[in-house]
């Protein structure tokens, strides 16, 4: 018989590190998957707290309690603040825990810095959502470079699609270390969609949560259309955001019978141009609804009820096509061309005229709308997490 210490020594220690809202959403189902195999893996969760409230919303929804919380967020932090605080915080956590593998996600400064911290202690890194590329290091900025750097450090590459695998092969990554898994965001999406569908009470609860947040979903019961908007990209700050906000304002005036709902990111750089264009008081703007960031369940519920999604978000570009929602991407480049090819996503940049023209076309032209709103899921089948766990179980 093995004693407890021997059992623990035979288990693989996996540390999952994340810090922002999208990483948390995409790592949450992976945490749950590892925790199913507690005889094989010791799962350690370390959050950096690069985001605070927006991270905590996700931890709460998925009932995840971190083992370590670096709690690094400062109002108005810059890239140097985040990088140095994560690096120093991870040094101590890694020294104490000595995991066999550190898993990081995507392209944030949390993920690249945590990967670097692990590398400094000779700890293997697994990169979840590996291999996406625009090949333009300033778009998205700094995320494209973050993802490339993490790819250089990583030993294991969990690529969401065959195209992301191809990108890694083109950079001479060893094929044996790449697994095409699908994107874990689809695992998360299916988890919450399933939860909402199975629970009629939850439907009522979410509708009431949304009402308290400032948008009454009952407004849509007469068949009214709704455009869901989000934006937060650093490379769009300043002129890009002003242009986006002006286009949205023009659309609200052009279509008084369509609702526009914008759950705002907490970054002050995002809020400032909104106030500049819409004024200081964002309440009572008729068909324009600015609301606070929604927790994931309410956001997915709202997205499901929307007609069109207008966003610069990475994750939403992956989720919305799965729900059959046309997405206009307010960016000049995308590292996610799969949905573009499938025809459910279109790049509109931050150009005032283009945002208005493309949104108008989707509102007015039913045939065009139908063509773009077919549900496709190039990003996965909801089994990405089990593929990752299976692979790491086999690796000695």
Closest to 247 measured CA to CA, from 385, 113, 352: 352
- Is-catalytic flag, 234? yes
Return the SS3 of 347: strand
Catalytic residue among 51, 85, 157, 232: 232
378 binds ligand UDP (CB under 6 A): no
Return the SS3 of 42: strand
- Is-catalytic flag, 107? yes
Contact 123, 150 (CB under 8 A): no
CA distance 35 to 25: 16
CB of 230 to ligand UDP, least distance (A): 5
- Is-catalytic flag, 390? no
Q: Taking the mean position of all CA atoms in its chain, how far away is CA 326?
A: 18
- Is-catalytic flag, 232? yes
CB of 133 to ligand UD1, least distance (A): 15
- Is-catalytic flag, 71? no
Which of ligand UDP, ligand UD1, none does 316 bind, CB closer than 5 to 8 A by kind? ligand UDP
Q: Which helix (H) or strand (E) holds 206?
A: helix 200-213
Binder of ligand UD1 out of 17, 21, 28, 117 (CB under 6 A): 21
Residue 195-234 contact track with ligand UDP, rule CB under 6 A, x = bound: -----------------------------------x-x--
Which of ligand UD1, ligand UDP, none does 248 bind, CB closer than 5 to 8 A by kind? none
Which of ligand UD1, ligand UDP, none does 296 bind, CB closer than 5 to 8 A by kind? ligand UDP
CA distance 293 to 66: 22
Instruction: Pick the piece of the chain touching ligand UDP (CB under 6 A) from 20-28, 68-76, 270-278, 322-330.
Output: 20-28
CA distance 317 to 254: 26
- Is-catalytic flag, 143? yes
268 binds ligand UD1 (CB under 6 A): yes
Closest to 131 measured CA to CA, from 108, 156, 153, 157: 157
333 binds ligand UD1 (CB under 6 A): no
Return the SS3 of 114: helix
Binder of ligand UDP out of 49, 99, 131, 263 (CB under 6 A): 263
- The sign of the dihedral angle between the CA atoms of 233, 237, 239, 241 is positive
Which of ligand UDP, ligand UD1, none does 76 bind, CB closer than 5 to 8 A by kind? ligand UD1
> Who's near 52: CB < 8 A, 6+ residues apart?
71, 73
Judged by CB under 6 A, the chain residues 271 through 330 that form the site for ligand UD1 are: none
Catalytic residue among 23, 33, 69, 143: 143
Which residues, in sequence order, are bridge partners of residue 125?
102
21 binds ligand UDP (CB under 6 A): yes
Contact 324, 373 (CB under 8 A): yes
76 binds ligand UD1 (CB under 6 A): yes
Q: How many residues does the chain have?
A: 396
183 binds ligand UDP (CB under 6 A): no
- Give me the numbers of helices (H) and strands (E) for the chain, helices first please: 17, 13
Binder of ligand UDP out of 22, 49, 142, 322 (CB under 6 A): 22
Closest to 150 measured CA to CA, from 107, 207, 117: 107
CA distances to 47, 89, 266, 276, 390 from 86, in Å:
10, 5, 20, 33, 29
313 binds ligand UDP (CB under 6 A): yes
Which residues, in sequence order, are bridge partners of residue 18?
47
Judged by CB under 6 A, the chain residues 275 through 294 that form the site for ligand UDP are: 293-294
Instruction: Pick the piece of the chain touching ligand UD1 (CB under 6 A) from 74-82, 122-130, 239-247, 358-366.
Output: 74-82
Backbone angles phi, psi at 65, to 5 degrees: -110, 110
User: Under the rule (CB under 6 A), what is the footprint of ligand UD1?
Assistant: 20-22, 50-54, 73, 75-77, 79, 82, 107-109, 142-143, 232, 234, 265-268
User: Which residues participate in catalysis according to the annotation?
Assistant: 107, 129, 143, 232, 234, 265
Q: Note the residues at the interface with ligand UDP (CB under 6 A).
A: 21-22, 25, 185, 230, 232, 263, 293-294, 296, 299, 313-316, 319
């Amino acid at each position: 018989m093995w004693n407890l210490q021997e059992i623990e020594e035979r288990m693989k220690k996996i540390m999952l590190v994340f810090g922002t809202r999208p990483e948390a959403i995409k790592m949450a189902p992976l945490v749950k998957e590892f925790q199913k195999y507690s005889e094989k893996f010791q799962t350690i969760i370390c959050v950096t707290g690069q985001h605070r409230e927006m991270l905590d919303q996700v931890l709460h929804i998925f009932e995840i309690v971190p083992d370590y919380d670096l709690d690094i967020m400062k109002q108005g932090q810059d890239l140097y603040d985040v990088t140095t605080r994560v690096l120093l915080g991870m040094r101590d956590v890694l020294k104490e825990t000595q995991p066999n593998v550190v898993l990081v996600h995507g392209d944030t400064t949390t993920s690249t810095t945590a990967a670097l911290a692990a590398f400094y202690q000779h700890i293997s890194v697994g990169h979840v959502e590996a291999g996406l590329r625009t090949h333009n290091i300033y778009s998205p900025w700094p995320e494209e470079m973050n993802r490339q750097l993490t790819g250089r450090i990583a030993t294991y590459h969990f690529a969401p699609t065959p195209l992301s695998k191809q990108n890694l092969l083109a950079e001479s990554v060893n094929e044996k270390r790449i697994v095409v898994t699908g994107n874990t965001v689809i695992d998360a999406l299916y988890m919450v969609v399933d939860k909402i569908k199975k629970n009629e009470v939850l439907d009522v609860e979410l509708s009431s949560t949304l009402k308290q947040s400032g948008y009454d979903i009952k407004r849509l019961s007469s068949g009214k259309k709704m455009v869901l908007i989000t934006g937060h990209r650093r490379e769009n700050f300043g002129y890009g955001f002003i242009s986006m906000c002006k286009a949205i304002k023009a659309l609200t005036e052009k279509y008084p019978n369509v609702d526009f709902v914008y759950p705002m990111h907490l970054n002050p750089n995002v809020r400032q141009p909104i106030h500049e264009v819409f004024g200081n008081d964002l309440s009572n703007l008729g068909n324009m609804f600015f609301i606070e960031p929604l927790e994931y369940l309410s956001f997915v519920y709202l997205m499901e009820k929307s007609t069109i999604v207008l966003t610069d978000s990475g994750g939403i570009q992956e989720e919305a096509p799965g729900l059959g929602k046309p997405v206009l991407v307010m960016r000049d480049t995308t590292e996610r061309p799969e949905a573009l090819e499938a025809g459910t996503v279109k790049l509109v940049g931050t150009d005032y005229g283009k945002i208005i023209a493309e949104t108008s076309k989707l509102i007015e032209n039913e045939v065009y709308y139908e063509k773009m709103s077919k549900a496709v899921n190039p990003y996965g089948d909801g089994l990405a997490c089990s593929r990752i766990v299976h692979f790491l179980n086999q690796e000695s």
